[in-house]
Copies of this chain bind each other. A is one copy, B any other.
Amino acid sequence: MATIRDVADRAGVAPMTVSRVLNNPDSVSPKTRARVESVIAELKYVPNMIGQTLRTNRTMVIALVVAEISNPFAIQQIRSVGDAARRGGYTVLFAHTEASEENELTQLRALVQRRVDGIVLAPVTNRPDSVDFVQGQGLPISVIGYPMPENDVDVVRCDTGTASRDLTDYLLGLGHERLAMLSGPRDIVTARERTDGFVAALAGAGISAVAMHNAPFTVDGGYQTALSVLNARIRPTALVTANNFIAIGAAKAARELGMRVPEDVSIVTFDNARSDSVLDPFFTGIIQPVAEMAELATEMLLDRLAGDYDGPGREIVLPTRFEVHDSTAPPREMS
């Protein structure tokens, strides 16, 4: 593989001249430039960024670290961060942590070893360690999706607690009185937020929940939990699920029990996938502006990298969207 020296020798110039042809062509005479360029083509020379990096101390790479790649969010995040990064001249190194905090730190360490210039993190939890580690290395970082109360860091997120309350209020408005919550793991902040919103809405209406469960954020988790909830003595007429996987599992369970959605049971959810991937039912629920969140987080990072900002952590809270689709209806038997 040809180096800058090979090109220089063959073109009869100094390596520096080749470097100039590559990075600042106007500073080289057209004649020399032409000769160098033809040698570059001839030798199929591709500049080695490793050398540049060592010299300039900038890799022009930012990393995107995502908890769970199966989440439909992840794809939009990869796309958005990639686009925003490219606009700033950066490449994105993608890493996923399989929703393990230990893994998250391992990955971050590997990224620091590779001297990425900055990190966009969609974290597993909102414990402060990961951000602390990255910032301790002097690297800028943006966080997507969680409040990070213990860190001084740039964050873009939504208030899904309030959204959960609104969502539950909508069901109450339809006349539902027996509601169950199928939330996510207790140690995930957003799961707690959503549970809290649900509870607050019920409290506001003077009702208590028929059931409240914590399932993993998976189709099977939702399925199992929904099976038991829908088989209980007091059947709920509406389910609030904390994410789309749980909702899909719940819909499967309902169908298997011979219940129709929404006639027999209404289901609402968060993080609804695009209509592309779920055909029926298309869930009523809360939509987060995932792409915009990822884009803003990346732009905040690029700001810091460009030296345009170096103040304290900023927090952007974006509004969610509430969409009514096919999975909700008034309860059958109004009490």
Binding site for B on A (CB under 8 A): 1, 44, 46-51, 53-54, 59, 61, 69-70, 72, 74-75, 78-79, 82, 91-94, 96, 109-110, 112-115, 136-138, 219, 245, 248, 251-252, 255, 273, 275-281
Given the known interface contacts A54-B54, A69-B79, A79-B69, the answer about A115 and B48 at a Cβ–Cβ threshold of 8 Å is: yes
Given the known interface contacts A91-B110, A114-B49, the answer about A273 and B277 at a Cβ–Cβ threshold of 8 Å is: yes
Residues of B within 8 A of A278 (CB): 277-279
The contact of A279 among B50, B79, B251, by CB within 8 Å, is B251
Known: A51-B54, A69-B79. 6 other contacts (CB 8 A): A44-B137, A47-B113, A61-B114, A93-B94, A219-B276, A277-B277
Q: CA of A136 to CA of B1 in the docked complex: distance in angstroms?
A: 9
**Chain B residue nearest to A45 in the complex (CB):** B137
Q: CA of A281 to CA of B248 in the docked complex: distance in angstroms?
A: 13
Question: What secondary structure prevails in chain A residues at the interface with B?
Answer: mixed
Residues of B within 8 A of A44 (CB): 136-137
Is there contact, CB below 8 Å, between A113 and B48?
Answer: yes
Is there contact, CB below 8 Å, between B138 and A46?
Answer: no
Is there contact, CB below 8 Å, between A78 and B54?
Answer: no
Q: CA of A50 to CA of B82 in the docked complex: distance in angstroms?
A: 22
**Chain B residue nearest to A110 in the complex (CB):** B91
Closest 7 CB pairs of A and B: A94-B94, A277-B277, A49-B113, A280-B280, A219-B276, A46-B112, A50-B53
Is there contact, CB below 8 Å, between A50 and B115?
Answer: yes
Q: CA of A128 to CA of B70 in the docked complex: distance in angstroms?
A: 32
Residues of B within 8 A of A51 (CB): 54
Residues of B within 8 A of A113 (CB): 46-49
Is there contact, CB below 8 Å, between A279 and B280?
Answer: yes
Least CB distance, A61 to chain B, in whole angstroms: 8
Residues of B within 8 A of A48 (CB): 113, 115
Q: CA of A264 to CA of B82 in the docked complex: distance in angstroms?
A: 43
Residues of B within 8 A of A53 (CB): 50
Q: CA of A44 to CA of B112 in the docked complex: distance in angstroms?
A: 11
Residues of B within 8 A of A93 (CB): 93-94
A-B contact pairs, 5 of them (CB 8 A): A1-B137, A44-B137, A49-B115, A50-B115, A277-B278
Is there contact, CB below 8 Å, between B279 and A279?
Answer: yes
Q: CA of A59 to CA of B93 in the docked complex: distance in angstroms?
A: 14
Residues of B within 8 A of A82 (CB): 96
**Chain B residue nearest to A136 in the complex (CB):** B44
Least CB distance, A309 to chain B, in whole angstroms: 20
Is there contact, CB below 8 Å, between A46 and B79?
Answer: no
Least CB distance, A87 to chain B, in whole angstroms: 15
Is there contact, CB below 8 Å, between A54 and B50?
Answer: yes
Residues of B within 8 A of A280 (CB): 255, 279-280
Residues of B within 8 A of A69 (CB): 75, 78-79
Residues of B within 8 A of A75 (CB): 69-70, 74-75
Is there contact, CB below 8 Å, between B70 and A279?
Answer: no
Residues of B within 8 A of A109 (CB): 46
Least CB distance, A136 to chain B, in whole angstroms: 6
